[in-house]
Structure 1
Amino acid sequence: MRVVIAMMQHETNTFSTVPTPLARFSRGNPEPVPLEGQAAIEAFRGTGTALGAFIELCEAEGVEMVAPLAASAWPSGPVEDAAYAYMTDRICDAVAKGCDAILLHLHGAMVTESLEDGEGALLARVRALAPNTPIGVALDMHTNLYPAIVDNADVVAGYQTYPHIDVYETGMRAAKPIFAMLKGKARPTMAWGNRPMLPHVMRQGTDDFPNSEIQALCKRMEAEGALSATFFTGFPHADIELAGSSAVVVTDGDQARAEALCKEILDLAWKERAAFVYEIEPLEQSLARARTMTDGPIVLLDHYDNAASGGSMDSMTVLKGILEAGLDNVAAFAICDPDAVAAMAKAGVGSTVTLALGGRTDMPSIGRKGEPLTVTGRVRLLSDGRFRNIGPMSRGVLNDMGPTAVLDTGKVEIVVVSTQQEPNDYACFQSLGIDPTAKRYLMLKSRIHWRAGFKPIAKQIVDCAGVGVCTSDYSMLDFKHVRRPIYPLDEDLQPTSTAR
């Protein structure tokens, strides 16, 4: 038996100017292309990823694995058409050679230069090549679900946690019913639908109401017999027609039940839609509150500019506020500025340097230009920027920040990286000789994923509204293509839905 397994992941922020060429998908590979073949299998075997789950199941079943692609990139602007063609052609070429099942770890919110629904277009090609072959798909919670995704798969399962600490489990939820199909023990049937709502990302955490309650409902449905039940919060920073919340339920041969359960999930989400709206506090007030706090570490969230939502990670507004406020004993992760890293590497460890740091990326979608910040400090450390996640998120996965430096101003240790990296794991500091538990303040360019690695040590949290294309202020985003009316852009509307 031959099974094709592959990963192609990108969450596209259509307001971001960070480019997305093929090289951005080469994480874990010294070459500027994604991992393929046995190298991909070795890189992801035993990791807390959906691909790791696929590998484990295939090995347990004793089947031949073919891994044409393991591609993952931090969110950014639309994927270049050439990169999309390279990745999808490799997957399709493997399928065209014949297989008994197909297991794909996709994102669900990939937008390319030419396509609103990159995953749906891929699945349509795969289904045309393998019209009768079982296809299982694992998706991110931030999927913007399109019909082509569901219409061309047999099983769809999405993450049920945010931060995403159940990626491996989701791979199992997508793959196990496919193996059951192959053995004649399951007949998956799916129903899906959506509601016209754009939940703010800062209100999507599964530690928080209402997503905690919605995900608990999905888990109960699975415990009571559904093969998979998923609520997708959606990714609102994609100006595409079907951006927003949706659900998909897979049952064993019971289409009516799948439809009823799907409607139950969506009705609950719509009922609690107001709780998905995030209230913004001005930065000055946030930093003033932080100054009065004494019990640390105190997490300062620069949530307008984070890698996991398409931010450039070089907006300096929050860091500037921290420096001007005189906050002491701070570690900041991170500013993406390869030129600054090169300058510090040239100066050498121990040298005192004055740099125009960050602010290299303009943000025309929100009418802002990049504003560098002049900073003086000592080069404390230089690194190749490679480390493995400890977990619970993406356990064992290799990260590559590119050449990295730590600049110590005396009060703030600033991590400066050469490529974007979300601070979702304790190891991002530990690998650079920084003990986050010893700091009074941790400035993190993150929204929710920081909780995976740092919530256990955080004594207090302060949201800091800076500047960036991950803004939680929808009034700054010029939505032209998303379906209207939609909540909360339009408050007075009926709970209409699209469903199949």
Structure 2
Amino acid sequence: MRFVIAQMRHETNTFSPIATPLTAFCRGADANGPVTGEAAVRACEGTNSAAAAFIDIVRSQGDEFVMSLLGSAVPSGTVSAEAFEFMSERIVASVRAGCDAVMLDLHGAMVAEGFPDAEGELLRRIRAVAPDMPIAVALDFHANFSAALVNNATAITGYCTYPHVDVYETGMRAARTLMAALRGEVQPFILSRTLPMLTHMLRQSPQEQPMKDIMDRAMAAERDGEVLNASVFGGFPLSDIPHVGLTVLLVADAGQRQAAQQLLDELTQMAWARRADFVYPIEPMAQSLAYAKTLEGGPIVLVDHGDNCGAGGSTDQMAVLAEVMRQGLDDVVAGPFCDPEAVAQMIAAGVGQRISLEVGGKTDTPAMKLKGQPLKLTGRVQCITDGNYQVTGPMFTGVRLSLGRTAVLDVNGILVMVCEKPQEPFDAGVFTHAGIDLARKKYILIKSRQHFRAGFGPIARHIVLVAGPGVCSSDYSLFPFEHLPRPIYPLEPETRLEFAAA
């Protein structure tokens, strides 16, 4: 048999001012966009990714595959039409050339110019050239669902973890169902329901309530054979599109229809009953840092979740670092802040040299009415690196990432890391590649939301969440939503639940 395998991943924050061109779809040192063919296979194999799982299962069967695309971009603003057309055409062309089935490693929250559900549009285009093609799709936990995405897939699975450490296994789950269908062992169909609720990402993690036993129930149902696949998606609430919300999606065999419907009702009712628990109460930034100052021991991980590039932030908001300095916290490592101009200045100065410069604040965020405010710093350039490292932690293990050129400035004992390319610090390699011993630091200030727990959770003595300003704020009242399905909870607290299967 012959399979088409592709990866096209982007989480789109429609309020983000950061552009998403084709060149953004490469996370390694090569910044020229997605890769194809053998180069894509080499970059993918052996990694904790769904695409790697697809490759492995096809090889184990002795079948053939073509890797039509490998493209993954850091979350940011709406994807350009050029980028979407280039990537989708590469995938569709591979299908048009002939295959027995398609396996797609997608995100599920990608918004492109003209297409609020880019993944759904991709599947629609595949169906247009191959109406009966079996299609397996592995999606991020933060996927949003339109009818086009659900109705054009044969099997869909989603990550069961946040931080996302089960990405490879998610691909395997989708692939196993697809292979069983190809062998004629099952006749899969999909049931799904999206609830009218904007969950807060700081309340979504399946490691904790209110999501934990909802996800546990879904995983048990899949493990015990009640359905073929069961996934719960927290959704990505920072996309102003008509199909945002918490979604339960089940893949069932033809004889499991009644059991699947009962499970769908059970899981969605559990989620809806806890809707108030999915709201994160915001604490003022200064109050959170004052509390952190009272804690004993270290490392104390300070998590600025308002400007996280992992959800579309610019990573150059400097307000939290400024407040850290104002309150006199010391023995701090902070970053990485994205500011290519500042990096160039430090490289020009050289290692060991003292320099005064403005860091960050180069990006305005019109949607949030935020003006960039650089922070004036004076210190010694401690080191300069190429910013390249390989992930060793449990999330996207083995993937090679690049911060671009990176420099560390020592500001009276506070180490400030500045880089050319944004990267959420879900792996300690962002700092250790520059020779920084995190275990010896009192405070680690990073921009993240939940993914940091994969790489930094094991070394953290304490974790303090800090609500800095930015396009990833948990205060939904700050966002000028125009296209959401209304009413929706918690924007309209009196929202009523109406069951409507996708």
Partner of 1:57: 57
Task: Name the CA distance, whole Å, in 2 between partners of 1:399 and 1:140.
Answer: 19
1:43 to 2:76 alignment: no
Compute the displacement of 1:476 (Å). Answer: 0.6
Please give the per-residue CA displacement for 1:81-114, whole angstroms capped at 9, x wherever unaligned.
0000000000000000010110001111111121
Deviations 1:293-327 (A, max 9, x none): 12111111110001110000000010111111111
Partner of 1:191: 191
User: Could you tell me how far apart the structure 1 residues matched to 2:61 and 2:379 are?
Assistant: 56
Supply the AA of the counterpart residue of 1:230: S
Q: What residue in structure 1 maps to residue 132 of structure 2?
A: 132
Structure 2, unmatched stretches of 5+, are none
1:26 Cα shift?
2.0
Deviates more, 1:359-368 or 1:29-38: 29-38
Misfit runs of 4+, over 6 Å = none
Q: Which residue of 2 aligns with 1:426?
A: 428
- What CA distance in whole angstroms lies between the structure 2 residues aligned with 1:137 and 1:260? 24
Partners of 2:415 and 2:147 lie apart in 1 by 47
Partner of 1:6: 6
* Local SS of the residue matching 1:91: helix
2:387 match:
385
1:325-368 Cα distance to aligned partner (Å, 9 max, x none): 11111111211000000110111111111111000010111111
Whether contact under 8 Å (1:300, 1:462) holds in the other structure is: yes
Residue aligning to 1:222: 222
Task: Name the SS for the 1:413 alignment partner.
Answer: strand
Is 1:412 the equivalent of 2:414? yes
From 459, 463, 488, the equivalent of 1:461 is 463
- Correspondences of 1:8-407 after superposition (within 5 Å): 8-28=8-28, 30=30, 32-225=32-225, 226-253=227-254, 254-407=256-409
Instruction: Provide the rounded CA distance (Å) in 1 between the counterparts of 2:265 and 2:11.
Output: 26
Aligned-partner SS, 2:105: strand
Task: Measure, in 1, the Cα distance between the counterparts of 2:182 and 2:393.
Answer: 33
Q: Distance in 2 between matches of 1:211 and 1:392?
A: 21
- Tell me, which stretches of 5 or more residues in structure 1 are unaligned? none
Letter of the 1:416 counterpart: V
Tell me by how many angstroms 1:31 deviates.
5.1
Q: Secondary structure at the match of 2:289?
A: helix
Q: Deviations over 1:263-297 (max 9, x none)?
A: 22111110111110001110111111111112111
State the Cα distance separating 1:451 from its structure 2 match. 0.4
**Mapped partners of 2:393, 2:63: distance in 1:** 29
Q: Does 330-339 or 31-40 show the bigger shift? A: 31-40
User: How far 1:28 moved relative to its partner?
Assistant: 2.4
Contact 1:80 1:112 in 2 (8 A): yes
What does the per-residue CA deviation read over 1:189-215, in whole Å, with 9 as the maximum and x for residues that have no partner? 210111100001111122220111111
Q: Which one-letter code corresponds to 2:63 in the other structure?
A: V
CA contact (8 A) 1:356 1:374 kept: yes
CA deviations over 1:198-255 (Å, ceiling 9, x no partner): 0011111222201111110111110221211011111110011111111110112233
Q: AA paired with 2:421?
A: T
Q: Does the 8 Å contact 2:58/2:64 carry over to 1?
A: yes
Any conservation in 2 of the 1:327–1:411 contact (CA below 8 Å)? no
Deviations 1:47-99 (A, max 9, x none): 11101101111110111110110000011000000000000000000000010
Q: Distance in 1 between matches of 2:217 and 2:426?
A: 26
1:114-148 deviation line (CA, Å, top 9, x unaligned): 11100000001111212222110000111111111
Contact 1:190 1:255 in 2 (8 A): no
Residues in 2 aligned to 1:54 and 1:350: alpha-carbon distance in whole angstroms: 48
The answer to whether the 8 Å contact 2:156/2:251 transfers is yes
Tell me if the contact between 1:16 and 1:77 (Cα under 8 Å) persists in the aligned partners: yes
Q: Whole-Å Cα distance in 1 between the matches of residues 68 and 33 of structure 2? A: 12
SS at match of 1:208: coil
Spell out, residue by residue over 1:457-483, the C-alpha distance to the aligned partner (whole angstroms, 9 max, x if none): 111111111110000111111111101
Partners of 1:29 and 1:262 in 2: how far apart?
43
**Mapped partners of 2:416, 2:212: distance in 1:** 34
Equivalent residues of 1:191, 1:258 under 8 A apart: yes
- What TM-score results when the alignment is normalised by the length of structure 1? 0.99
Q: How many residues align?
A: 500
Partner of 1:213, secondary structure, is: helix
% identical equivalent positions = 48
Quote how far apart the aligned CAs of 1:260 are: 2.2
Deviation at 1:257, TM superposition (A): 2.6
What's the RMSD between the two structures over aligned residues? 1.0
* Secondary structure of the corresponding residue to residue 314 of structure 1: coil
